[in-house]
Amino acid sequence: MFFSCLKDIPIGYCSWDERQHPIGIIGQNCVLPEYQRLGYVRKQIDLIIKIFKDNKFNEIKVINGEHEFFKPAQRIYEKCGFKERQKINGDLFQLIELNKLI
């Protein structure tokens, strides 16, 4: 896990799971609302891609919800090169698995 800070103030974080090497899984990827839409989420995604590349992973997966609430997150992952791989039935709503080959 890493935390993103702006002038020593934590504004976001990203977690991941390396246990399925060579496939990396992105867990939580969050930025506080007042710092959203300023490029920080993209910087966090770019950093996690670099971490996986540096550690010889060849694919990254992330699970997102299909509900409208999750659409902004899905769009930013797609802008970072992730593609929808499959839909998964969730307990409350449909989930989407996105992946990126690296």
Q: Where are the domains of the chain?
A: 2-101
What's the pLDDT band for 5 if we cut at 50, 70, 90? very high
pLDDT in tens, 49-90: 999 999 999 999 999 999 999 999 999 999 999 999 999 998
Architecture of domain 2-101: 3-Layer(aba) Sandwich (3.40)
48-70 b/e (C-beta count within 10 Å ≥ 16 → b): bbebbeeeebeebbbebbbeeeb
What per-residue confidence (pLDDT) applies to 82?
98
With contact defined as beta carbons under 8 Å apart, do 58 and 26 qualify?
no
What per-residue confidence (pLDDT) applies to 93?
85
State the average pLDDT over residues 27-55. Answer: 97
What per-residue confidence (pLDDT) applies to 59?
98
Q: How far apart are CA 7 and CA 4, in angstroms?
A: 10
pLDDT in tens, 9-33: 999 999 999 999 999 999 999 999 9
